[in-house]
Structure 1
Amino acid sequence: MINNWVILSVYVVTFLIGLPANLLAISTFIKKLSDKPNPNDILLFNLTASDLVFLLFLPFKMYEAAAGMKWYLPQALCSIASFFFFTTIYTSSLLLMAIAVDRYLGLAFPIKYRLLRKPLYATAGSILIWLVSIAHCSIVFIIVHMPLPNGTKTEPVCYEQFTEKQKKILLPVRLEFFVVIYMLPLLVSIFCYIKCIYILYTRPHIAKVKKQRAIGMALCTLTIFLLCFLPYNTSHLVGFSSNESPWWRYYTLLPSTLNTCLDPFVFYFSSSTFRESKTIALLKSWCCRHKKTKKCETELNIISK
């Protein structure tokens, strides 16, 4: 019932697009962090690092798809690959929430927040987010290495077939994933960006470009949560209600991989450091040369301001 070649194709395309985009981003943020870091850049650096960890372990999922969704490598590699694969998904959702909160506080309480807005707090928050994701996803090691009943025959698959004893632990934990580290970050992000847009549009002295950028940031974040993360997290809800992992769960992971291709748009809208990098400037020049219009150059210069 699973078309492994469709899955493999999406993984390959994601890897080819996401890896160079995130390498560009992390090199830009490393340079900024070594110079004059701010909390936003620290959060974005961690988001980029999460994407890169995801992409580094994506070849294991490519191997699995190429092998017809079978796993012929050591079981320990299955545990490690699955752990990092899922950890980075939830780290990304929590970091997107933290970025939304940072932007909201900066707009709603500019004076107070400027006094409290220190890189140390962003670093501590990022570490806490990583620890929360790691603690949640450590369930992978617990489930995979639980002893099986005598005489149980298992197929060579990675983290897909579970005994009743395993499901009694795993399915409620997945439901908690859906509520705590998906729905909560989504609702907090929606609240923060609605408030940000409202504040910006009630202050006439704020430039139109900044208002448009806030809308772009909100739309990118909402797209990632709904397009990339919702299908996979919905499988947790369905699995808990049916007491069985749905067969289509493989496909729900595909939009989650596309998150690594969409995050660079978040970087562009939220970080002047990324917008003003030399590589982005070269891409803008390349686009203008191909369009060959002064209007293009004018528009790009406005967006960069």
Structure 2
Amino acid sequence: MTLFSSVGSEKMGFKAYSQLVLAVYIFTFLTGLPSNLLAFYTFLVKVHQRPTPVDILLLNLTISDIFLLIFLPFKMVEAISDSKWTLPAFLCPLTSFFFYSSIYTSSLFLMAVSIERYLGVAFPIKYKLWRRSAYAVAASMIFWVVSCAHCSIVYIVQYQVQSPNGTARSNDTSHCYKNFTQEQLQVLLPVRLELFLVLFCLPFTVTVFCYVNFVRILVALPNIPARKKQRAVGLAVATLFTFVVCFAPYNLSHVVGFVQNQSPTWRVYALLPSTLNASFDPAIFYFSSTAVQRTFARCLASLRCKLRATVTWCSLPCLTCCGEDDRKVEVASRDETEGTTCGLP
């Protein structure tokens, strides 16, 4: 009886986990896709008209989020199937590749934006002389290469890790990038530790330094409008929030896994906030660019107008019906009054 109850409770817990994962994925997809597409269009127009380094960096950050959102429906199918991979096998490493690479490309581009902001206020004259869009393009290419090269480990571990006798071992195809052999962990765990040090700790440290000094310098300047200072604080808070809440838990699991010589069981939960990064990044776009603010404002105004028109259109039949009923009541009351009057002696 105890065995059946423990198995039943385990199944209930696993079902609750699948529902939580699916809810996070759906929320991220519904909120992140329209806002990122809107930001992508805005930055694309700006880069086409007059490219600036920060617009190029933010455009690449948007592309990274869109890649994650495009492959997110595959992860939804996985969550619906109780974490079993029922899709074609080639989609497993492809989805994992874009899913994980988006985390680290985002951290690198957020770091680059913080450097650009800090240099602009700390060394305004020198930075203006040396500021070139070509540097942002070169940095973007380097970030993509570094992130994709590191995350290609999903292909190496999934299929090509060799066992001690030289034969190839493949992962369990019923699950996608979850269950690993000891030989696979010997390759995977050191790479994860490198991801933590190079693609999380370094960008996070640089970002904290840049934004702390960026806000400190900007707040101390007397001629800067209060609105601009508030935007600077909002940008710093939104970026650091993304690092601490979205990226830190998952990357800390790399350190714990390396120390314990195994993948932590709670790693799957730590990965969920990383997915929400695609929903939080538009807040960074909003504080970073006045063009995005204007685009979002126009979009919200248009939605309000359409919603108001829809509500008015839907309420017209009701108003018409109510108006006809009122006229009928008024006519009946008038007839009754006239009948009473006519019946008087």
**What TM-score, normalized to structure 2?**
0.80
Matched, 1:145 2:159: yes
Show the counterpart of 1:257.
Answer: 275
Q: How does 1:22-37 map to 2 (within 5 A)?
A: 22-37=36-51
Q: How does 1:30-69 map to 2 (within 5 A)?
A: 30-69=44-83
- Residue identity (%): 51
Over 3 Å counting, the alpha-carbon distance change for 1:167 and 1:134 in structure 2 is: same
Preserved contact between residue 40 and residue 102 of structure 1 (Cα < 8 Å): yes
Shift of 1:147: 5.1
Matched, 1:167 2:181: no
Q: 1:146-198 CA distances to partner (integer Å, 9 max, x unpaired)?
A: 25658999461101111111111100110111111001101100000010111
**Separation of aligned partners in 1, 2:231 and 2:199:** 26
Structure 2, unmatched stretches of 5+, are: 1-12, 308-345
Q: How does 1:1-305 map to 2 (within 5 A)?
A: 2=14, 3-146=17-160, 154=172, 156-277=174-295, 279-283=296-300
Q: Which has the higher contact order (CA 8 A, sep 6+)?
A: 1
- Report the 3-state secondary structure (helix = DSSP H, G, I; strand = E; otherwise coil) of the residue aligned with 1:60: helix
Bigger CA radius of gyration: 2
**Runs of at least 4 residues off by over 3 Å:** 147-155, 284-288
Shift of 1:13: 1.1
Preserved contact between residue 21 and residue 264 of structure 1 (Cα < 8 Å): yes
Shift of 1:74: 3.0
Shift of 1:282: 4.2
Shift of 1:205: 1.3
Preserved contact between residue 146 and residue 166 of structure 1 (Cα < 8 Å): no
**Separation of aligned partners in 2, 1:258 and 1:235:** 17
- Report the 3-state secondary structure (helix = DSSP H, G, I; strand = E; otherwise coil) of the residue aligned with 1:145: helix
Show the counterpart of 2:333.
Answer: none
Amino acid at match of 1:91: T
**Separation of aligned partners in 1, 2:77 and 2:267:** 18
Aligned residues: 288
**What TM-score, normalized to structure 1?**
0.90
- Higher mean C-alpha displacement, 94-103 vs 60-69: 60-69
